[in-house]
Amino acid sequence: MSNIERPLLDFNPQEFVAALHSRYEAGPKQFDISAECLARCTGLSGEVLPERFDAVALALARGYSDASLPFAFCDAVVNIMVGKVYSDAASQRDTWPPLFWEVFLAFDAGEFFREGEEHIEPAEKYTRPLIEAIVARFNV
């Protein structure tokens, strides 16, 4: 079992993602992650807890991979959460979550159509293979 997959005593990433998904389904256009909710992934000083961000990222990747979570939801979550990662980096906190960043970049790759590829779904061409490779590393 990798460090990312070790159970966290007071945090269940699958439950966290499921709760976010319920809120997303209730109103995708108004979806946001409250400060109180995001605080479940941060330390006492509001710093990113890399193991929690990485665990959420893996839960999103697995959900997208098995088609239980849609691209738009996963992309929205990582886009909201990355703001906290950036603010920690700007504050020179050593809290960078490497797997979260990798998953963020994978979803980011599927956000837009490329010139000459308007007929190709970017999430399928760019995001899906990156996510499948990530998930495969953790399903050994």
pLDDT tens-place string over residues 36-90: 999 999 998 899 999 999 999 999 999 999 999 999 999 999 999 999 999 888 8
Does 73 map to a domain?
A: yes
Domains contained in the chain, number: 1
DSSP 34-79: -HHHHGGGB-TTS-B-HHHHHHHHHHHHHHHHTTSS-HHHHHHHHH
Secondary structure class of 118 (helix, strand, coil): coil
Element of type H or E holding 106: helix 98-109
The answer to whether residue 112 is domain-embedded is yes
Instruction: Specify the pLDDT at position 30.
Output: 92
Within-domain flag for 41: yes
Question: Does the predicted TM-score (pTM) go above 0.85?
Answer: yes
Tell me phi and psi for residue 111, to 5 degrees.
-80, -20
Report if residue 56 sits inside a domain: yes
CB 46 within 8 A of CB 36: no
**For residue 27, what are the domain limits?**
22-138
Q: At what angle do helices 71-90 and 13-26 cross, to 10 degrees?
A: 120
pLDDT band at 118 (very low <50, low <70, confident <90, very high): confident
Domain contains 1: no
pLDDT of residue 89: 87
Distances from the Cα of 77 to the Cαs of 70, 91, 114, 118, in angstroms?
11, 22, 23, 25
Distance CA 10, CA 96 (A): 21
Whether pLDDT at 97 is above 60? yes
